[in-house]
Amino acid sequence: MEAKMAQSLQFSTWIDSEKMMGRKPAGSVRFSQRLKKQSKLPVLVSARVPTTTSSNRHSKVDLVVSCSYKNFPGSTLESGSPHASVEEDLILKNKSEEVEPYLSGRCIYLVGMMGSGKTTVGKILSQVLGYTFFDCDTLIEGEVHGTSVAEIFKLYGEAFFRDKETEVLQRLSLMRRLVVSTGGGAVVRPINWSYMQKGISVWLDVPLEALAERIAAVGTGSRPLLHHETGDAYTKTYNRLSMLFEERSGSYANANARVCLENIATKLGQRDVSDVTPTAIAIEALEQISIFLKGEDGHVTF
Ligand SMILES: Nc1ncnc2c1ncn2[C@@H]1O[C@H](COP(=O)(O)OP(=O)(O)OP(=O)(O)O)[C@@H](O)[C@H]1O
Ligand SMILES: O=C(O)C1=C[C@@H](O)[C@@H](O)[C@H](O)C1
């Protein structure tokens, strides 16, 4: 009887793109025209090699290889989000190297409605900028002995949660080189802006339909402000989000930079904002930050 074992390998290497282009084996890696111009491509190769111990030494061995850019954030994407292309990863890396020196260590505060991707995009930005990522909701949960946001609302009420949120933002404002995912409602208290103004604030502006789809897909369990509507998951989420957005849109617009998903989709020729990858959003965030920095200090050139 055959005994099967699987051996996992992982190593980083350089691929010679010219040699790769020449061959067309089944399952070959395809490169875009832009990448074909680069002679060497840094990649992380992960392979799972099932090894078969049998008397037949020539039996077929399956090899599954996946490649992603070394130190690039593709592997940190949350499930459910569309994945970035290698080309997008390269653009992100170049853009971050261009913008990072002009940030002078200032923190980036991501603001936006719940589900707008502050955590997903924030992790990508922090990784590519070499910044530390913090999620305000998670910090508040830690302050209240690991109690979830939903439980904090239930046990102590929203005002208690909002006070904790302000305390957390005040503490973060004393630090440098952070990307902060703020809570969806952090923008309503003017005092919170006084802390966020120490850094650069970026509004992730996502159409309500896309937000409702994302949230309905994972459920509203962790989002207490969405608990009280009736109807199917999408409709009740959409209705409540619409009310909250009406109250808050003016506050989100206070941010230094706005990242509009509809604009990105138009730029990229995508019909549906759901096809815009978190990496493309991170690139646009850096672009909008650079526009803000240029406006702030007229002579900055990139
Ligand atoms: N660009 C995207 N396309 C599709 N889905 C996405 C995208 N960005 C994030 N998501 C998904 O949407 C959901 C919410 O994302 P995320 O947690 O990053 O948002 P958030 O703004 O931090 O939310 P909250 O403020 O409620 O914590 C997650 O399930 C995530 O995988
Ligand atoms: O939009 C909001 O008011 C909230 C968003 C979440 O991030 C949490 O901060 C909390 O559920 C409240």
Q: What is the pLDDT, as a whole number, of residue 229? A: 60
Q: What is the DSSP string of the chain?
A: --EEEEEEEEEEEEEEHHHHHH---TTPPP--HHHHT-SEEEEEEEEEEEEEESS-TT-----EEEEE-TT-GGGGPPTTSPPPPHHHHHHHHHHHHHHHHHHTT--EEEE-STTSSHHHHHHHHHHHHTPEEEEHHHHHHHHTTT--HHHHHHHH-HHHHHHHHHHHHHHHTT--SEEEE--TTGGGSHHHHHHHTTSEEEEEE--HHHHHHHHHHH-STT-GGGTT--SSHHHHHHHHHHHHHHHHHHHHTTSSEEEEHHHHHHHHT-S-GGGS-HHHHHHHHHHHHHHHHHHHSTT---
Lowest mean per-residue pLDDT among 140-144, 224-228, 250-254:
224-228
Q: What average pLDDT does the segment 171-177 reach?
A: 97
pLDDT in the model for residue 82: 76
Amino acid at 84: A
Q: What is the pLDDT of residues 211-245, one digit of tens each?
A: 999 988 877 666 677 766 666 788 888 999 999 99
Q: How far apart are alpha carbons 185 and 175 in whole angstroms?
A: 22
Band the pLDDT of 200: cuts 50, 70, 90. very high
pLDDT at 158: 96
pLDDT of amino acid 236: 85
The confidence score (pLDDT) of residue 234 equals 87
Report residue 301 CA to chain centroid gap: 27
- Predicted TM-score (pTM) of this structure: 0.76
Return the pLDDT at 33: 46
Ligand 1 touching residue 117 (CB < 6 A): yes
What's the CATH class of domain 74-296?
alpha beta
Q: What percent of the chain has pLDDT over 70?
A: 68
Residue found by looking up tokens 């305000």 in the block = 136
Q: Which residues pair with 51 in a beta bridge?
A: 5
Structure tokens at 26: 């089944």
* Whether residue 199 has its Cβ less than 6 Å from ligand 2: no
**Ligand 2 atom 1, closest CA:** 184
Domain segments of the chain as ranges: 3-68, 74-296
Each as own residue / partner, the long-range contacts of residues 150-155 (CB below 8 Å, 24 or more positions apart, any chain) are 150/221, 150/222, 150/223, 150/224, 150/227, 153/224, 153/225, 154/224
71 contact partners, CB below 8 Å, separation of at least 6: 127
Question: Residue 200 C-alpha to ligand 1 middle, in angstroms?
Answer: 21
Report the residue among 79, 81, 209, 252 best suited for mutation to probe ligand 1: largest number of ligand atoms under 8 A from its CB: 81
Mean pLDDT of 242-258: 97
Give CA–CA dist 70/35, Å, rounded: 15
Q: Is 67 in the pocket of ligand 2 (CB under 6 A)?
A: no
Res 203 pLDDT > 80:
yes
Over residues 106-135, mean pLDDT: 98
Does the CB atom of residue 123 touch ligand 1 within 6 A? no
Q: What is the pLDDT of residue 233?
A: 80
| Block residue for tokens 């074992």 | 5
Protein residue closest via CA to atom 1 of ligand 1: 278
- For ligand 2, whether the C-beta of 185 sits within 6 Å is yes
Per the CB < 8 A criterion, the answer to whether 286 and 293 are in contact is no
Terminal CA-to-CA distance of the chain, rounded, Å? 65
User: Which of 92, 109, 120, 284 has the most ligand 1 atoms within 8 A of CB, as the residue to mutate?
Assistant: 120
d(CA 251, CA 111): 10
